[in-house]
Amino acid sequence: MHKRIFIFFCFLLAGNSYAQQVSTAAKDLQQFVRQKGDSLLQAEKLPGILVGVLDGNSRQFFSFGFADPANKLSFDSATIFEAGSITKTFTAYLLQTVLQEKGISDTTSILPYLPDSVQGNKALAPVTFLSLLNHTSGLPRLPANFPLASTAPYDKYTAADLFAFLKQSKPAPDGKSNYSNLGAGLAGWLAQSLSGKAYKTILHDYIFGPFSMKDAAAATGRKAQGHFGTTQLPFWNMDVLFPAGGLQCSASDILHYLARMSQPQREKSVHAAVVEKLLQPTATVSPVMHIGRAWFGFTQTDKPTIYWHNGGTYGFSTFAGFSKGTSQAVIVVVNQFNKNTASDGLGIAILQKMME
């Protein structure tokens, strides 16, 4: 995670410099996105880029290169991609909603809510629901028994594997931010356990349905082709760690989602309260960066805070960001592994352009 934050700041500075060289008029946004996208596609030799932009009531989608290069198919607003770790923000929303419904504070220890076989490990007692969402639990990025040597490492990692690891896990005691896919996956398991419903069921009930995420809900749309270098890879089919990065959706879906994050006051009080909680700073990452519950917040001088999260699978690199109260948001998708430098930089540049 620290590597990704470093990349984010490098491109934040570059994005600022570039944005100052182009017109600040809102009417130039479309041209700005096209110029940036075309340039990035060529410079990075990417298979394709998809950009979705929300600016007030306007939604625009931009396709560069191809979603499926072999068949010369472009991206569109309904093309399905792997969102990667952007999924963690969905998991945070679900867990926070369920905790609120159950009257449980997120500063409560998770130990009593774990399976009986794990509750004997008192080293987990300091781990709270909140610490899973802001990466301060002390749990490692991935479990020691995780099968890294695979093109789809998450697909066969089960709940039994997870709890076998947690039975003997000794979280780091310092409480510092340490990005953890394990922690996010466990947060999703707790949300489903407390709700009494499967994770994907509450995902539909609390988010896909209310937020009009029709493509994700249908799960039948045309999929982009992911790439690991030049090798084509199929989508992951994640098991227990799905809540850390398994979401498959469209750019249209994500803009619907980000619109609800950006303008929570327009929604029901329960939703508004949950979003306020998610965006509230809970831990400091750097002098200008904090984390709330899953969402990272970048504080700008004389400009709105940018809330963001990126994601990466072996086939995709993604970035989602918005500013609260402005209805300004962006989703960027690159259908290639380990290209967060590109997706983060483009997303930040577009957001900053809209804020001029």
pLDDT digits (tens, 9 = 90+) for 127-160: 999 999 999 999 999 999 999 888 999 999 999 9
Angle at 50 between CA 44 and CA 56, to 5 degrees: 125
Give the chain's domains with CATH numbers.
Answer: 24-355 (3.40.710.10)
How far from 235 is each of 84, 176, 225, CA to CA, in Å? 11, 33, 8
Type of residue found at 133: L
**Percent helix, strand, coil in the chain (nearest 5)?**
45, 20, 35
Mean pLDDT of the chain: 92
CA 185 to chain centre: 13
d(CA 113, CA 192): 11
Query: Judging by beta carbons within 10 Å of its beta carbon (0-12, 13-18, 19+), is residue 314 exposed, middle or buried?
Result: buried
Nearest to 194 by CA among 79, 95, 296: 95
pLDDT, tens digit, 9 for 90 and up, residues 96-139: 999 999 999 999 999 999 999 999 999 999 999 999 999 999 99
- pLDDT at position 219: 80
- Whether residue 188 is predicted with pLDDT greater than 80 in this model: the reply is yes
pLDDT (tens digit, 9 = 90+) per residue, 321-338?
A: 999 999 999 999 999 999
Give 211-266 pLDDT, tens digit per residue: 999 999 998 889 999 999 999 999 999 999 999 999 999 999 999 999 999 998 77
Q: Which residue has the higher pLDDT, 300 or 194?
A: 194
DSSP single-letter state for residue 130: H
Handedness of CA 25, 26, 30, 36 (dihedral sign): positive
Starting from the edge strand earliest in sequence, which strands make up the sheet with 317-323, in order? 58-65, 48-55, 328-334, 317-323, 303-312, 296-300, 289-291, 283-286
